[in-house]
Amino acid sequence: MFGLIVKMRSQPGKRDELIALLLRSTDAMPGCLNYVVARDLADLDAIWISEVWDGEASHKASLSLPEVQATIAEARPLIAGFDSSVRTEPVGGVGIS
Amino acid sequence: MFGLIVKMRSQPGKRDELIALLLRSTDAMPGCLNYVVARDLADLDAIWISEVWDGEASHKASLSLPEVQATIAEARPLIAGFDSSVRTEPVGGVGIS
């Protein structure tokens, strides 16, 4: 399995709008086993995305899906930047479908 | 929902032993909707734990479960420290059971 833990920063006040976009096309991503979008409770513009994929190839392929491409284009003006992006190897747990 | 994203550091060379302990009692945690344990690909002793609970009360209650208490006691000598622990409010996604 391949994982990502990303801390994204929205433009001020745009966090919920950005989150709604991020959640829009998550159903249509082959090989995506887990994808959680969360608000940081202490940092008003910060969003955490925790992802588990069946392999890195599925994650890369998702970036080319038309739905995902459209979301990226719409989301870009709402994103102030990325504080961190960590590549992981998920091992197990609860909720990995 | 309540979430945690934790970066834990094992004693050198003890990461897989620590991960095995962390995964041992995850089935028995009421209110736990998602719990993913992952190796950091770039940092040999780092472990990421991404958790989603139905509320903060369930997370707090889990810390008192006998199985979890036993795991904490066994895990303690293998843990070098915690690099970060972020509290979140998960909003949605894939794999939140």
Give pLDDT < 70 ranges for chain B. Answer: none
What pLDDT, on a 0 to 100 scale, did the predictor assign at position B23? 93
Closest approach of chain B CAs to the CA of A45, in angstroms?
12
Is pLDDT above 80 for A88?
yes
Tell me if A36 and B86 make a contact (CB, 8 A cut-off). no
- The CATH number given to B2-88 is 3.30.70.100
Is pLDDT above 90 for A59?
yes
What pLDDT, on a 0 to 100 scale, did the predictor assign at position A49? 97
Tell me if B86 and A42 make a contact (CB, 8 A cut-off). yes
SS3 string, A71-94, reads HHHHHHHHEEEEEEEEEEEEEEEE
Q: Does A91 touch chain B (CB under 8 A)?
A: yes
Bin A33: left if φ > 0, else alpha if -120 < ψ < 50, else beta. Answer: alpha
User: 3-class SS at A23?
Assistant: helix
Is pLDDT above 80 for A97?
no
